[in-house]
Amino acid sequence: MSVQSVERAFGVLDALANGPLGVTEVSVRVDLPKSTVARLLKTLEELGAVEQVVDDGRYRIGSVIGSLFGSTRQASDLVARARPLIESLAQEFGEDAGFSVPEGYLVHYIDQADSENAVQVRDWTGEEVPMHAVPSGLVMLAHWPALRLERYLGRPLERFTAATMIDAELLTARLAQIRRDGFAWVFEEFVEGINSVAAPVLDRATRPLGAIHVHGPAYRFPADYDQADVTNKIMDAAQRLSDQLQRHQY
């Protein structure tokens, strides 16, 4: 990215600092063509730096920029609250459990509780992966506003394995079902040989703050367990964390 592009992007963010604006309003304030501003806003939206207001289509500062202020404290607080829950899941099912948060169009894994099983999958802490390929991302996408979801699905989606779902129409139907069910299973869609399940952690407005998930080798997970029991307990853990965070004004 050129220095000029960075300067223009900061100009757009500065224009939005005092509240939501439409493309035309931003264009006037930063003295740039509407087409240039539209491109900048689209890129910033993909990065999570801005987001569109559902009701009127104007843009406002997004979660990523907001998280820069006190992000370390908030992340530490989220991990501290999620940790007992994912540790309990890892111990109960003998599989690794984790907690992730949205970062623009990516899922950021911020904590993992390892199981004592001799055969484990890798530790994903610190990794960022596209939302459509993992259950944590799918349960977050399922709670996105329609316009933002349409923009995500309108992009070329990366295929990681033969099982990765990248068709926008199929994903739209799948996400509607996930929103109704409250969970998502993924069977070898991101990494061959790994299955996983997740449930969303939501704020009071049902916006996704993160997700709790459990994953394990495909040959034993969920085959060695009662799949419905695994699903219900992960949903219960996610709901308990949601309740905690909502009580603390998240």
Report the side by side order of strands in the sheet with 208-217.
Answer: 128-130, 106-113, 96-103, 208-217, 194-202, 184-187
Among all chains, which residue has been given the structure tokens 């079902």? 177
Lowest mean pLDDT among 47-51, 169-173, 179-183, 187-191: 47-51
**Domain residue spans in the chain?**
3-62, 71-247
Residue 214: which of 127, 116, 112 has the closest Cα?
A: 112
In sequence order, the 6+-apart residues with CB closer than 8 A to the CB of 234 are: 89, 183, 197, 198, 199, 212, 213, 214
How high is the pLDDT of residue 134?
A: 97
Name the pTM for this structure: 0.72
**For the chain, percent of residues with pLDDT exceeding 90:** 55
Please give the Cα distance from 232 to 250 (Å, whole number): 24
What residue type is 55 in one-letter code? D
| CATH annotation of 71-247 | 3.30.450.40
Region 110-115 average pLDDT: 86
Range 3-62: architecture per CATH: Orthogonal Bundle (1.10)
Q: How far is CA 245 from CA 5, 182, 201, in A?
A: 37, 18, 9
| pLDDT of 39 above 80 | yes
Region 213-227 average pLDDT: 92
**Which segments within 122-193 are labelled E, that is strand?**
128-130, 184-187
121 phi and psi, to 5 degrees?
A: -90, 170
* pLDDT class of 68 with cuts at 50, 70, 90: low
Among all chains, which residue has been given the structure tokens 């920029």? 65
Same fold, 3-62 and 71-247: no
